[in-house]
Amino acid sequence: AQKVTQAQTEISVVEKEDVTLDCVYETRDTTYYLFWYKQPPSGELVFLIRRNSFDEQNEISGRYSWNFQKSTSSFNFTITASQVVDSAVYFCALSEHAGNNRKLIWGLGTSLAVNP
């Protein structure tokens, strides 16, 4: 069965600390996509990154970086030099692309609080 696990329910850091959000996934498919979304208190899900199962290159975008490792089925997200504006709930999601399966499967989210 497909599953996404975000073991960290809540994380609290002080501004300028680095923080890593963990994501572990389970899938039987060989072709899939992994996503990270940010959900601020306003509720809207903000897209951060998409990675396909054939691309294990790590990616860096400003203060954000992602580490995809198929060997451990993990897709971790690191925020460097965190800021108060990074405070939000972060979701990892999995999308399979076999047959008629079109849905995103989500983790429970990690609530990040960055304190001044």
Partner 1 sequence: DAGVTQSPTHLIKTRGQHVTLRCSPISGHKSVSWYQQVLGQGPQFIFQYYEKEERGRGNFPDRFSARQFPNYSSELNVNALLLGDSALYLCASSLEDRGYGYTFGSGTRLTVV
Minimal distance, residue 103 CB to partner 1, in Å: 4
Q: Which two tokens stand for residue 20?
A: 């890593």
- What gap in Å lies between CA 105 and CA 4, rounded to an integer? 7
Bridge partners (DSSP) listed for residue 13? 114
CA 111 to chain centre: 12
Cα–Cα dist 34/31, whole Å: 10
CB of 16 to partner 1, least distance (A): 28
Q: Is 54 in the site for partner 1 (CB under 8 A)?
A: no
44 binds partner 1 (CB under 8 A): yes
- The piece of 29-37, 53-61, 62-70, 74-82 that touches partner 1 (CB under 8 A) is 29-37
Q: Which of 31, 26, 25 is nearest to 6 (CA)?
A: 25
The token duo for 102 is: 């079109």
Least distance from partner 1 to the Cβ atom of residue 91, Å: 6
If one asks whether residue 11 binds partner 1 (CB under 8 A), the answer comes out as no
* 100 binds partner 1 per the rule CB under 8 A: yes
Under the criterion CB under 8 A, does residue 25 sit at the interface with partner 1? Answer: no
